[in-house]
């Protein structure tokens, strides 16, 4: 059962970070305090040997491997505005014939998060991001085209689960991209729980859908689940270790992988 007492400053701090620890496009609803910075650098490694067909069934597909490093840089401009910057680096290997290897320094995303409403531990915020197009290998052409994304988020930081502090962060997002699958709708949910002193447990769900995708009989969609732990290293540093997996989809890749992240708040 979840009730709502006071929460420790440690949980609040990790709540800010945890809600943003997934890919930068899924940054959470929390804002930073004015004049404060936080940097979350995450490395993800995933593999795939199957996909979901038009009926949602898993079928064999050529093997695909991906490694990705991203950084989310946030700055609290004032109590109602947090500025965002996110560079990335990607590498993909796809089974042939012929085998294909693509390396990309990545595109740059930038934007901001605005406070809409706040009452005690609850907050509603609005976020806007834009992607600056970048040169890349042909394998990454779609990912590096211009994109605009809008997200409405809700978070609550004073929950209690089994006698320990917890938080909830949820959001709905829409993105428009300059590519064939132009529209993307997303829903995300993050639950954070301070299971042990100095360690936070994160469970995250990410749902994506692509309405109006050309050449598809059914709307492509995918659900991913991610679990991780975040351990405090002291002096504002934290280490994240976890894994993720696709749990359903239509006309999209099945993926599973692991992640490691280093967080710094100052």
pLDDT value at position 216? 86
CA atoms of 185 and 8, how far apart (whole Å): 34
How many residues comprise the chain? 266
123, two tokens: 């907050």
Number of structural domains found in the chain? 1
Residue found under tokens 């360690």: 199
pLDDT value at position 90? 84
What digits encode the pLDDT tens for the residues 40-92? 999 999 999 999 999 999 999 999 898 999 999 999 999 999 999 998 888 88
Of 48, 17, 27, 65, nearest in space to 264 by CA: 17
pLDDT value at position 149? 94
| CATH for 176 | 2.40.160.40
Beta bridge partners of 168: 156, 191
253: three-class secondary structure by DSSP: strand
Look up the domain containing 232 and give its range: 2-265
pLDDT value at position 137? 64
pLDDT-flagged residues of the chain (< 50): 1-26
CA atoms of 213 and 218, how far apart (whole Å): 9
140, two tokens: 């990454």
DSSP 1-29: -EE-----HHHHHHHHHHTTSS-GGG--S
CA atoms of 127 and 81, how far apart (whole Å): 10
């Amino acid at each position: 059962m979840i009730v709502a007492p006071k929460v420790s400053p440690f949980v609040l701090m990790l709540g800010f970070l945890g809600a943003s620890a997934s890919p930068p496009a899924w940054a959470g609803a929390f804002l930073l305090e004015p004049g404060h910075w936080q940097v979350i650098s995450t490395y993800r490694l995933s593999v795939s040997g199957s996909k979901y067909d038009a009926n949602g069934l898993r079928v064999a597909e050529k093997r695909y491997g991906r490694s990705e490093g991203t950084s989310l840089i946030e700055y609290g401009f004032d109590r109602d505005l947090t500025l965002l910057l996110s560079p990335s680096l990607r590498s993909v290997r796809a089974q042939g014939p012929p085998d294909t290897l693509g390396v990309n320094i990545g595109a740059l995303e930038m934007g901001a998060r605005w406070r809409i409403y706040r009452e005690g531990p609850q907050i509603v915020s609005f976020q806007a991001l834009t992607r600056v197009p970048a040169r890349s290998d042909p394998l990454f052409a779609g990912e590096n085209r211009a994109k605009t994304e809008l997200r409405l988020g809700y978070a609550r930081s004073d929950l209690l689960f089994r006698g320990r502090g917890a938080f909830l962060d949820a959001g709905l997002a829409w993105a428009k991209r300059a590519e064939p699958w132009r529209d993307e709708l997303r829903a995300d949910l993050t639950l954070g729980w301070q299971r042990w002193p100095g360690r936070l447990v994160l469970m995250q769900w990410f749902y994506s859908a692509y309405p109006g995708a050309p050449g598809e009989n059914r709307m492509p969609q995918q659900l991913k689940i991610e679990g991780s732990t975040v351990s405090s290293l002291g002096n504002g540093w934290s280490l994240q270790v976890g894994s993720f997996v696709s749990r359903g989809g239509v006309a999209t890749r099945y993926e599973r992988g692991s992640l490691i992240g280093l967080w710094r708040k100052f």
